[in-house]
Amino acid sequence: MKKKIPDFKNEDSEREFWATADSTEYVDWPSGKHQKLVRLKPSLKNDELTDLGIDDQPRSMRDLSVQKRREAMLQLPHMARLSDYVSSLRKRNLGEVPDFDPFDGGIDARVLLLFEKPGPMTAKTGKRIGSGFISRNNDDPTAAAIFDFMRKAGIPRTLTVIWNVVPWWSGTRKVKAQELREGTACVTALVDLLPALRTVVMVGSKAAKAQLLLENRGLVLLTSCHPGPLVKARYRDRWEAIPFEWAKVMRANSVQL
């Protein structure tokens, strides 16, 4: 018998609960019925956004059923060209390339959050099997922080797309100079697929290596610290300031809600 989901006083208490709870103890996923999710429009204000449900919770990608529902969305109109882009990267055999998250804005995104390198929980291979997606819903502390910080910054997720300057997981978090050069060269091809793009947030020092390629494209370029646990442990003040840095996206002239 499944546990009863508690009554939450507010969104913050619900988010904190699902960040640590195992949803399989509360939800009978196998008996669930498929529902069509209506993709949200970037023009909606943050408080008008329709809740995407339990699939859009911190660490919800730990559930295979959640992953399967995302996989079924990869050929939707806002995702198909990005899925083709991922396929082209995989043919280079430089590492395991995860998919973009269909819950984000896809090719309609106005904001690209460019991180450094996928972590192990984006991969379908390894000691712990990940989701296969670059997602703020992944089962790791960095993804959970991204989920929380994006909410605090007030950025609707359908305005955004998340990627990495090195787009493949190579079995190690270390970023080698050669793969950084190869990965950075792929960023321009991605930007070409995002006609509505207005702002790029380069998250972490490695991601900032892409700045030279983006400077003459008429984009607002911002930088921030990385929300990973290493920055949290060493530079707590900087880590806690990340939502305020990301909130600048909403104040940029080129992003209007």
pLDDT tens-place string over residues 136-183: 999 999 999 999 999 999 999 999 999 999 999 988 888 888 888 888
Residue whose C-alpha is closest to residue 65's, from 105, 29, 107? 29
pLDDT at 40: 45
Cα 247 to Cα 57, 79, 224: the distances in Å are 21, 25, 11
Angle between helices 11-20 and 141-153 (to 10 degrees): 170
Mean pLDDT to the nearest integer, 101-114: 96
* Burial (Cβ within 10 Å: 0-12, 13-18, ≥19) of residue 158: buried
Could you report the per-residue pLDDT of 31-79, keeping only the tens digit for each?
655 454 445 444 433 333 334 577 999 999 999 999 999 999 999 999 9
- Any idea which of 30-39, 178-187, 210-219, 247-256 has the lowest mean pLDDT? 30-39
Percent of all residues in the chain with a pLDDT value above 70, rounded to a whole number? 82
Predicted pLDDT of residue 49: 33
Report all structural domains of the chain as residue ranges with CATH numbers, in order of start: 11-17+54-251 (3.40.470.10)
The model's pLDDT over 113-130, given as tens digits with 9 standing for 90+, comes to 999 999 999 999 877 889
Determine contact, residues 154/247, Cβ cutoff 8 Å.
yes
156/15 Cα distance (integer angstroms) = 16
Side-chain-side CA neighbours of 249 within 13 Å: the count stands at: 32
**Largest distance between two CA atoms of the chain:** 59
Phi, psi dihedral angles at 26 (to 5 degrees): -120, -25
Instruction: Give me the amino acid identity at 28.
Output: D
pLDDT at position 48 = 32
Segment 237-248 shows an average pLDDT of: 95
